[in-house]
Amino acid sequence: MSHHVLYSGKTGETHPLTFRIRDDRQPVWLAEYEAQDGYAALRKALKEMDPAAVQATVKDSNLRGRGGAGFPTGVKWSLIPMGPDAGKKYLVCNADEMEPGTFKDRLLMENLPHQLVEAMILSAYAIQAYRGYIFLRGEYVVAAERLNKAIAEAKAAGYIGKNVLGTGWDFELYVHTGAGRYICGEETALINSLEGRRANPRAKPPFPQIAGAWGKPTIVNNVESLSNVPHIILRGAEWFKGLSQGKSPDGGTKLYGISGRTRRTGVWELPIGTSAREIFEEHGGGMQDGLSLKCWLPGGASTDFLLPEHLDLAMDFDTIMKAGSRMGTGLIMAVDNRQNMVSVVRNLEEFFARESCGWCTPCRDGLPWTVKVLRAIEKGEGKPGDIEFLQKMTRDLWIGKTFCAHAPGAMEPLQSAIKFFRDEFQQGIPSQIPATAVN
Amino acid sequence: MTTGNCGCAGGQNTCGGNKGKDNFVLSDAERHDIEHAMEHYEDPRAASIDALKTVQASRGWVSDGAIDAIAAVLGIPASDVDGVATFYNRIYRKPVGRHVISVCDSIGCFLTGYEDVKSELQKQLGIEYGRTTADGRFTLLPICCLGNCDKGPALMIDDDTHGPVAPADVAKLLEQYK
Ligand SMILES: Cc1cc2nc3c(=O)[nH]c(=O)nc-3n(C[C@H](O)[C@H](O)[C@H](O)COP(=O)(O)O)c2cc1C
Ligand code: SF4
Ligand code: FES
């Protein structure tokens, strides 16, 4: 089996997102970043391209959002009002990374803070935002320090502030740190949180592109999505599309990863569309001794389980969707054969129940009820009809029945666990209720 | 709350005129930090989370008096500040220990065995989740995924992330926090 060196020996040509990461994992500061083409994309864009040209290049690249939903970034940008009458606009980076199983944005921010800072400035130029915010989860203390230092360096170098690189365009960039709650990652809840409110989601429409932060047009993008932008501008849309090596119609590389009881765990930058098997076997090294793979979550707690037989699928948005799940964040969670699926799902639903923002009734009441039933089944005290009840939940908390995608996300692992492992749920439900228990 | 127009220096409390509930008065440094954060946003309200974190960083938790004082600086109702303070789980509205231990209980750490680590912590500290040790040294809380799943089971003590943590590591880990 080939053993991949994690970061050394990479080039910007093949591993744009991670080639600058140092082997000693010290952050790359301005001088070193600039020596490796850092801020070259920003200089190029501000000198040679108008905002429309930057937007068009990103659209042509087929970059799809890496925050989980896979929405084409260029299309999102094209929905924001442009021109002299568009008024104040905002660019917000979603760095809330709290989807259980996900640890990719942390890697980018801790190691390459300038890559995200350059990406923010360049993307803000494309949509003509006058301010940018990096909405960072509060627990990422190291990332916060490094991003703030990188912003100060960029400001001193004239990349941020009044009249950026002599273009007449003014831009300020701030790090906003959160104080917990998974729901802050939902983009409209994130905007409420940024405004200093409780992080309840907002109704859509209007979409943030029209009325977002402080009612002004706002683009929200994930850390990894944005980090691709300077590379697309520097090397072109065709190069970016080619990075997938024909494995996917989507463009670029993807930060894939694996956790659970595999031999190796971590994050690797690979062509988008790389098979789950390659990630699991070649990079993760398969399961630890004595264990085998029972099932896996393709990209976070809110994605449907898949089976070992699905490992040959390409990890891209459309392929995983066709198989009945979602690629989500692309960081695989490997579940080993010693796990009981009722316990696994109980743990997942406890997370979703605790993190419900409480705004809409199906989610606020339905998730704790789901947990209660799962706990009973786990203890072998389930009642006939409990599985059917859980299945009813997966319909009643589905898309369109709740105010945001939190509750439907919670139902994805539940519905697929019942689909593939119904017998394990059945085992927690005594077929005959003892006469004494009936009152 | 009334902000002092009695002419006394805010932090000195000679007259008590600007003291709020539980005798709370913002220090000059806290007020400066909050006012600095306000400059980052369109609207002062947006600095409410920053303000709560500022107070918590210096005092350990956020008292009723702190809520009133922050509301006065931001110019918004105290009930709005409290609404925010109680929404976010990393803002503490009750006193906590000198060190806060936050144990990740999400799926990645579940698969790698966080429950054994949690049990060991509870045994050594003699407390359940949500409690503080009698000597005021540690508070124990659950937290969701710390983005450290490749090194699970993971936990945070104050601002430090640790992982993978085995039950056998617990005693040594706690010793680092006096
Ligand atoms: C409950 C919930 C939590 C989310 N958490 C995150 C998150 O932590 N980071 C993120 O980038 N997107 C998260 N999203 C997705 C965002 O709403 C949004 O789609 C994304 O930030 C858009 O960026 P992209 O187009 O670059 O992917 C979450 C969505 C939901 C429903
Ligand atoms: S689905 Fe859940 S998280 Fe989303 S708005 Fe409703 S209660 Fe809040
Ligand atoms: S699940 Fe524990 S750190 Fe991610």
Quick: pLDDT tens for B28-74.
999 999 999 999 999 999 999 999 999 999 999 999 999 999 999 99
Ligand 3 neighbours, Cβ below 6 Å, are A 100; B 104, 106-109, 145-146, 148-149, 152, 154
Percent of chain A clearing pLDDT 70 (strictly above): 96
Tokens of A12: 């910007």
- φ, ψ at A133 (rounded to 5°): -130, 135
The region of weakest confidence among A1-10, A48-57, A247-256, B20-29 is A1-10
pTM: 0.94
Helix (H, G, I), strand (E, B) or coil at A430: coil
Looking at the predicted structure, is the pLDDT value of residue A433 above 70?
no
CATH of domain A341-437: 1.20.1440.230
Looking at the predicted structure, is the pLDDT value of residue A130 above 50?
yes
* pLDDT, average across residues A168-188: 97
| pLDDT on residue A8 | 66
Nearest Cα neighbor of A329 from A40, A144, A65, A149 is A65
At A102, the pLDDT band (50, 70, 90 cuts) reads: very high
| pLDDT on residue B7 | 35
Please report which helix (H) or strand (E) contains residue A335, including its range: strand A331-336
At B10, the pLDDT band (50, 70, 90 cuts) reads: very low
Looking at the predicted structure, is the pLDDT value of residue B4 above 70?
no
Looking at the predicted structure, is the pLDDT value of residue A436 above 60?
no
The whole-angstrom distance between A345's CA and the closest CA on chain B is 9
At B18, the pLDDT band (50, 70, 90 cuts) reads: low
Nearest Cα neighbor of B124 from B140, B110, B109, B112 is B140
- Contact call for A194 and B46, based on CB within 8 A: yes
> What distance in Å separates the CA atoms of residue A284 and residue A265, rounded to the nearest whole number?
6
Beta bridge mates, A306: A296
Ligand closest to the CA atom of residue A301: 3
Tokens of B139: 């508070």
- Contact call for B147 and A297, based on CB within 8 A: no
Distance B95 CA to ligand 1 centre (A): 33
Quick: pLDDT tens for B78-135.
999 999 999 999 999 999 999 999 999 999 999 999 999 999 999 999 999 999 999 9
Quick: pLDDT tens for A280-314.
999 999 999 999 999 999 999 999 999 999 999 99
Task: List A residues 320-349 in contact with B (Cβ-Cβ < 8 A).
Answer: 331, 333-336, 339, 344, 347-348
- Which among A102, A213, A339 is the nearest to B111, CB-wise? A339
Would an 8 Å CB–CB cutoff place B22 in contact with chain A? no
- φ, ψ at A174 (rounded to 5°): -130, 150
Looking at the predicted structure, is the pLDDT value of residue B11 above 50?
no
> What distance in Å separates the CA atoms of residue A162 and residue A21, rounded to the nearest whole number?
30
| Residue ranges covered by each domain of chain A | 30-240, 245-336, 341-437
Atom of ligand 2 at shortest range from CA of A189: 5
Looking at the predicted structure, is the pLDDT value of residue A5 above 50?
no
| pLDDT on residue A7 | 52
Pair A95, A136: CB distance under 8 Å: yes
At B21, the pLDDT band (50, 70, 90 cuts) reads: confident
Would an 8 Å CB–CB cutoff place B42 in contact with chain A? yes
The whole-angstrom distance between B2's CA and the closest CA on chain A is 23
- φ, ψ at A107 (rounded to 5°): -60, -45
Distance A368 CA to ligand 2 centre (A): 13
Beta bridge mates, A266: A258
What value does the mean pLDDT of chain A take? 95
* pLDDT, average across residues A353-357: 98
Rounded to the nearest angstrom, the gap between the alpha carbon of residue B62 and the centroid of all alpha carbons in its chain is 8
Q: What does the DSSP 8-state code read for residue A185?
A: G
Would an 8 Å CB–CB cutoff place B15 in contact with chain A? no
Residues 6+ apart with CB under 8 A from A37: A12, A234
Task: List A residues 191-210 in contact with B (Cβ-Cβ < 8 A).
Answer: 193-199
Quick: pLDDT tens for A210-265.
999 999 999 999 999 999 999 999 999 999 999 999 999 999 999 999 999 999 99
ipTM of the complex: 0.94
Establish whether residue A222 lines the binding site of ligand 1, counting it when its CB lies within 6 angstroms of any ligand atom: yes
- Exposed, middle or buried, A265 (CB in 10 Å: 0-12/13-18/19+)? buried
CA distances (Å), origin B137, targets A81, B95, B99, B104? 54, 12, 6, 20
Q: Using H for helix, E for strand and C for coil, what is the string for A85-118?
A: CCCCCEEEEEECCCCCCCCCHHHHHHHCHHHHHH
- Contact call for A176 and B40, based on CB within 8 A: yes
Q: Both ends of chain B: CA-CA distance in Å?
A: 37
The architecture that CATH gives domain A245-336 is Roll (3.10)
Rounded to the nearest angstrom, the gap between the alpha carbon of residue A67 and the centroid of all alpha carbons in its chain is 3
Pair A297, A134: CB distance under 8 Å: no
- Contact call for A174 and B40, based on CB within 8 A: yes
Quick: pLDDT tens for A378-422.
999 999 999 999 999 999 999 999 999 999 999 999 999 999 999
Bond into B153 cis (ω within 30): yes
- Measured by CA distance, the residue closest to atom 18 of ligand 1 is A187
Looking at the predicted structure, is the pLDDT value of residue A202 above 90?
yes
Beta bridge mates, A131: A90, A172
| pLDDT on residue B20 | 76
Q: Where are the alpha helices (DSSP H) in chain B?
A: 28-38, 48-59, 64-74, 78-87, 107-111, 114-125, 170-175
| pLDDT on residue A432 | 58
Atom of ligand 2 at shortest range from CA of A402: 1
Establish whether residue A250 lines the binding site of ligand 1, counting it when its CB lies within 6 angstroms of any ligand atom: no
CATH of domain A30-240: 3.40.50.11540
> What distance in Å separates the CA atoms of residue A348 and residue A233, rounded to the nearest whole number?
40
Strands B160-162 and B155-157, bridge-based pairing: antiparallel
Would an 8 Å CB–CB cutoff place A96 in contact with chain B? no
Tokens of B47: 């600095």
Would an 8 Å CB–CB cutoff place A255 in contact with chain B? no
Looking at the predicted structure, is the pLDDT value of residue B9 above 90?
no
- φ, ψ at B83 (rounded to 5°): -60, -40
